[in-house]
């Protein structure tokens, strides 16, 4: 009765248990039955009422973790930073969230599911691109960014970083991914958004080596 009356509580519990199991056992080694066993009386039917698959659970978990600690919201309060600095800080805050970074690594194989991939692209278009656009436009106003392609780049950023750099979508070695990342850096700089500094390059290099090793 409780899960029917308060479906959001059930969803929250499923995601909480799934996050813990994915972190402890790994995504591939966690089964739906493992999740059921930790849910204190809920059944597989309760899970499938909200999520059609384990892939959907992972997708929802990644989105929840992002918006629970939204780096765009955090940098919005940083009045001492200009638009370009805020964009850089978004990347660094996102990387510093250890749990989310770990879940992101586990979620890469999920992108092989066309439905999940399409959902992620839609989320990037509707929710993430406008957040990048707001910072690019802020940078245009304060003089830290000089580009004629604010909207285009806001859409391109998540598309390139979430898809083109994902080895489960475009198979590549760590060196090849880093080369693609440097290509993105060059494109952004040429279009007036010198986003990637040396610190971000180091973070990216370390992350790419980790995700390829985890494949």
Q: Check pLDDT > 80 for residue 16.
A: yes
Residue 173 belongs to what domain range? 59-214
Q: Say yes or no: 189 and 106 in one domain.
A: yes
139 and 193 in a single domain? The answer is yes
**Is residue 180 located within the same domain as residue 83?**
yes
Q: Are residues 95 and 119 in the same domain?
A: yes
* pLDDT at 109 exceeding the cut of 80: no
Lowest mean pLDDT of 113-117, 118-122, 173-177, 192-196, name the range: 113-117
The total number of structural domains that make up the chain: 2
User: What angle separates helix 7-25 from helix 98-107, to the nearest 10 degrees?
Assistant: 80
Are 67 and 44 members of one domain?
A: no
Q: Which burial class, exposed, middle or buried, applies to 139 when counting CB atoms under 10 A from its CB (0-12, 13-18, 19+)?
A: buried
The burial of 43, by beta-carbon neighbours within 10 Å (0-12 exposed, 13-18 middle, 19 or more buried), is given as exposed
Distance CA 167, CA 98 (A): 20
- Of the residues 27, 51, 75, the one at which a domain ends: 51
Domain match, 46 and 86 both: no
Phi/psi for 205 (5° steps) reads: -60, -45
Q: Note the pLDDT of residue 25.
A: 85
Does residue 21 sit in the same domain as residue 73?
no
Structure tokens at 148: 């004629």
Q: Within this chain, do residues 131 and 202 fall inside the same structural domain, yes or no?
A: yes
- Rounded CA-CA distance 145/150 in Å is 9
Q: Give Dmax (Cα) for the chain.
A: 58
* 107, 195: one domain: yes
Q: Is residue 117 very low, low, confident or very high in pLDDT (cuts 50, 70, 90)?
A: confident
Model confidence band, residue 191 (pLDDT cutoffs 50, 70, 90): very high
Q: Is the pLDDT of residue 22 over 70?
A: yes
Q: Which CATH number do you get for residue 153?
A: 1.10.357
Asked whether the predicted pLDDT for residue 1 surpasses 60, the reply is no
Same domain, 45 and 95: no
* Residue where a domain stops, chosen among 34, 51, 68: 51
Task: List, in order, residues 6 or more apart from 119 with CB less than 8 Å away.
Answer: 59
45 and 129 inside one domain: no
Q: Are residues 99 and 14 in the same domain?
A: no
pLDDT tens, residue by residue, 50-103? 999 888 898 888 888 888 889 999 999 999 999 999 999 999 998 888 777 777
DSSP string, 133-192: HHHHHHHHHHTS---S-HHHHHHHHHHIIIIIT-TTTS---HHHHHHHHHHHHHHHHHTT
Give the CATH number of the domain where residue 9 resides.
1.10.10
For tokens 């991939």, the residue is 117
CB atoms within 10 A of CB 143: 10
**pLDDT tens, position by position, 135-173:** 999 999 999 999 999 999 999 999 999 899 999 899 999
Q: Where is pLDDT greater, at 24 or 75?
A: 75
Residue 215's pLDDT is 64
């Amino acid at each position: 009765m409780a899960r029917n009356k308060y479906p959001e509580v059930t969803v929250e519990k499923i995601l909480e248990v799934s996050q813990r199991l994915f972190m402890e056992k790994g995504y591939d080694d966690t089964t739906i039955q493992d999740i059921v066993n930790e849910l204190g009386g809920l059944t597989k039917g309760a899970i499938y009422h909200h999520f059609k698959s384990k892939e959907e659970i992972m997708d929802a978990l990644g989105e929840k973790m992002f918006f629970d600690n939204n780096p765009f919201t955090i940098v919005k309060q940083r009045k001492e930073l200009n638009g370009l600095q805020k964009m850089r800080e978004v990347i660094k805050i996102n990387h510093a969230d250890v749990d989310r970074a770990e879940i992101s690594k586990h979620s890469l194989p999920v992108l092989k599911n066309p439905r999940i991939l399409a959902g992620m692209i839609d989320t990037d278009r509707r929710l993430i691109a406008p957040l990048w656009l707001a910072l690019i436009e802020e940078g245009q106003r304060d003089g830290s960014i000089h580009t004629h392609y604010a909207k285009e780049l806001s859409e391109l950023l998540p598309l390139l970083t979430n898809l083109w750099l994902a080895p489960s979508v475009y198979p590549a070695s760590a060196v090849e991914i880093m080369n693609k990342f440097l290509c993105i850096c060059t494109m952004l700089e040429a279009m007036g958004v010198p986003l990637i500094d040396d610190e971000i390059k180091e973070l990216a290099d370390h992350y790419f080596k980790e995700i390829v090793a985890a494949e």
